[in-house]
Amino acid sequence: MIDTFGTKELREKYLPALSRMDIIASYCLTEASSGSDAASLETTAKRDGDHYILNGSKAFISGAGTSDLYLVMVRTGGPGPNGITAVLVEKNTAGLSFGKSEDKIGWKCQPTRVMTFEDCRIPISNTLGQEGKGFNYAMKGLNGSRLNIASCSLGGAQSALEAAVDYSHIRKQFNSPLSSFQNVQFKLSEMAVRLTAARLMVRNAARAADEQSPKAVVACAMAKIFAAEECFKIADEAVQIHGGYGYLNDYPVGQYMRDLRIHRILGGTSEVMKIIVAREILKE
């Protein structure tokens, strides 16, 4: 988003360090009272000379408190999407604070916190693109986010499938390995089919995004729905194949299942993705 919509000065200031991963950035849209209805966000940015004064809070922010740079959607105008602007806030800016790290059922290695802005002063030159266009930028940025989440789903499901295959060879019941039972073979086959279909959908959406196709938004939404839903089922089935051992932390499949569960919510819920798809097919 910085590369696409940022000024030459912002790109030169931040992109080299971001590309080298010398610094990490976070995307900050969600608020406690505006999740799926993101355009109703309430965090404000009031002009004060050549600065904005930010007040409000963001919730469920990935990397909050750890990241060095925050791309924050704030309200600079009236209600609705046209009153939203995207700004960049550095970690040590006065008036920016972070809540406790949330205790999640999955994604344990990734910090998630509330961000609070209390008379947080940033230069207006930190504005990304045009004032009032931030919601449009945020939605375009979500295409990449949805591809990333779908791709993470593929990785988790691949690991879950491999773990289930390995376990089926080792675990014996009735003096035979689980892999010799047709029921288990069918489960593994179905998992492989779902994973292959999900991978093809994600690659199709990535190609549409790269080509800036007018179908990219709906392609990314479809890929996220399918990959997030089907890959979670794969991880859940892997737990089932492990039986009681799958419910123990001694085996990784339980973690895969917990980690993949958030992908059906993160970056736009499956239900919101279905709204995006429905709007597209109903207008044709």
Q: What is the DSSP string of 69-80?
A: EEEEEEE-SSSS
Q: How many domains would you assign to the chain? A: 2
- The four Cα atoms 202, 204, 207, 211 give a dihedral, to 10 degrees, of -130
The answer on 192 and 83 residing in a single domain is: no
The answer on 278 and 140 residing in a single domain is: yes
Is a pLDDT exceeding 70 seen at residue 284?
A: no
Among residues 114, 132, 150, the one where a domain terminates is 132
Among residues 85, 104, 132, the one where a domain terminates is 132
pLDDT tens-digit series, residues 107-161: 888 899 999 999 999 999 999 999 999 998 888 888 889 999 999 999 999 999 9
The answer on 166 and 70 residing in a single domain is: no
pLDDT tens-digit series, residues 36-69: 777 889 999 999 999 999 999 999 999 999 999 9
CATH number of domain containing 95: 2.40.110.10
User: Would residue 69 be called left, alpha or beta, if left means φ above 0 and alpha means ψ between -120 and 50 degrees?
Assistant: beta
Show the beta-strand stretches assigned E in 76-218.
84-90, 96-98, 112-123, 127-128, 172-173, 176-177
Average pLDDT of the segment spanning 196-204 = 98
Average pLDDT of the segment spanning 194-210 = 97
Q: Which domain holds residue 166?
A: 136-282
Band of pLDDT at residue 283, cut at 50, 70 and 90: confident
Average pLDDT of the segment spanning 166-187 = 96
Q: Report the predicted TM-score, pTM, of the whole model to 2 decimal places.
A: 0.87
The answer on 185 and 169 residing in a single domain is: yes
Q: Pick from 184, 189, 157: which is nearest to 171 by CA?
A: 184
The answer on 259 and 155 residing in a single domain is: yes
CA distance between the termini of the chain: 30
